Amino acid sequence: MSDGKPAVGVESDVEKGLSSPTNSQSESEKPSAPGQTERQETGTDGQGTVTDVPKEVLHRKLKGRHMQMIAIGGSIGTGLFVGSGGALESGGPASLVIGFILIGVMLFFTVHALGEMAVLYPVRGSFYVYSCRFIDPAWGYTMGINYALNWLTVLPLELTAAGITLNYWEGAKSVPISAWIAVFLAAVTVVNLFGVRGYGEVEYVLGITKITAVIGFIITGIIINCGGVPTDDRGYIGGRYWSDPGAFRNGFKGFCSVFVTAGFAFAGTELVGLAAAEADNPRKSLPTATKQVFWRISLFYIVGLTIVGLIVPSNEPRLLNASGGNTAASPFVIALETAGIKALPSIFNAVITLAVMSVAVSCTYASTRTTHALADEGMAPAWFGYVDKHGRPLFSLAVALGFGCLAFINQAAAGESIFNWLLALSGLSQFFTWASINLAHIRFRHAWKLQGHSLNELPFRSAGGLIGSYIGLGFCLIVLVAQFYVAVSPLNKPSTAANFFENYLGAFILIPFYVGYKVWSRDWSLYVNLAEVDLDQGRRDLDLTEELEKEREERRQWPAWKKVWHLFC
């Protein structure tokens, strides 16, 4: 926390969630140019007179294509390509698909809820700021710390996983993992030195690569399942593996165990909302990007994993090693190897390596923007908020890359144990983040109605509305309960205190931050007064009623097919 106590009353920036200047519509619509500054009200001229001091800001350089690729392919890595193998082994193909569908439905509503708020308030810190503003400053602060810690601890995991993926090739095994970690960490550093535009371009290229690879795998998987590969002596497979060894494994506990893997695989879906503050035109690019999350859920996860469950048996011994970046245990690689297709397993392994690097870059982006926003709201040391003239939060970046160096801990004797406990700190982070987004949206909608606003004033409306957010919040709570059950009685592990906290430490780590903020701020209210929240602060567009009505009138004239297309694209 910073040295000074932030105001948490009705008039405070913390409660209002202010993160961007909103003086006028014409000024706010202009994208930030290099060196563009905003004014802060503290500073002196050296003689005790208070003056405006220029402050560098994050640049708005993410184009529509960047936002769309962040939504579709961003942060897809080991959770899908490797971790899904462990979920297949523990829960079976039916549990794998059903678990991912349920989490996917929850994420669909969650991202739409986030998109509605982010289009209206494209502020730095996004969902953490919305929690401060519409729920409670202490809860918002806790969610900001939770989100930053999540990505800070995942970064060394992804760097290690990237190194492990290279061990798939015999020629790379002679090189120590630490050397590969150093190479990948240097690459992540270089990408981040190019600022937000560098992040956008890398995600765009790697996103296209991942999309192409998954579509190629789906087509290949269908051919394998139909017996169309001459080198595969299994012939026609069909639904054979759903009968033997079976659709479900390890009963209800096996089904519950899939949820955490699904949560890890879907992690980062909300990044499109975090990037809103650096989008050049969020009102145009964010709705499209938000709606395209549907294709990410459907294509990558549901269709891709359905194919995996059809052509890889859940009792395949190699799946037992599905941890970290061990791509030899990836069900995608196993499927291609079992079919005897030359070269394709190596190609897909290369795609996984690039996907892991993509996640590592996203880790750095997410953590730096969150810590920067925390500092900007007076909830973290002020130096985290420093931004250079190129729009890079350098001190936040230095801390993130410092956490990346924790990847080298794996080389120590007790490295694996230390690493597991570091990861346990953020094991449930995503579900708390998603629950908070839905709750913030629910309270935002109530505040919007309470203060006499109409839904027609919203530039973008969530496809699920309030009901969708209640469903999303309910799903998150159910998953947290299911994970508590698995933590108390782990699958294929003894019920010990160590195993419990390895699975559920992420929930308990939030308590000291929440209580600590309450004690520090001396504000013991449980939630903000929605009638007193300033709904105009933080809006980049203050009055779009006439323009929005013209757009809606135009859409009413569209044919049915175009309306359906617009719903998902």
Residue-wise pLDDT tens digits, 50-95: 333 345 555 565 665 666 666 666 667 778 888 888 889 889 999 9
- Express as a percent the part of the chain with pLDDT over 70: 78
The vertex-544 CA angle with 540 and 547, nearest 5°, equals: 135
Question: 64 versus 284: which is more confidently predicted?
Answer: 284
Residue 64 bridge partners (DSSP):
none
Mean pLDDT is lowest, of 112-121, 282-291, 541-550, for 541-550
According to DSSP, residue 5 is labeled P
Question: 51 versus 342: which is more confidently predicted?
Answer: 342
pLDDT over threshold 80, residue 25: no
Record the tokens describing residue 513, joined without a space. Answer: 């931050």
- Biggest CA-to-CA distance, the chain: 85
pLDDT at 50: 34
Mean pLDDT is lowest, of 52-61, 274-283, 439-448, for 52-61
Residue-wise pLDDT tens digits, 308-334: 999 999 998 888 776 655 777 889 999
List of residues 6+ apart from 542 with CB closer than 8 A: 22, 24, 25, 536
CA distance 500 to 520: 30
Span 64-528: which CATH code?
1.20.1740.10
Task: Please report which helix (H) or strand (E) contains residue 15, including its range.
Answer: helix 13-16
List of residues 6+ apart from 557 with CB closer than 8 A: none
Region 376-399: what's the mean pLDDT? Answer: 82
Task: Please report which helix (H) or strand (E) contains residue 399, including its range.
Answer: helix 394-404
CA distance 287 to 106: 18
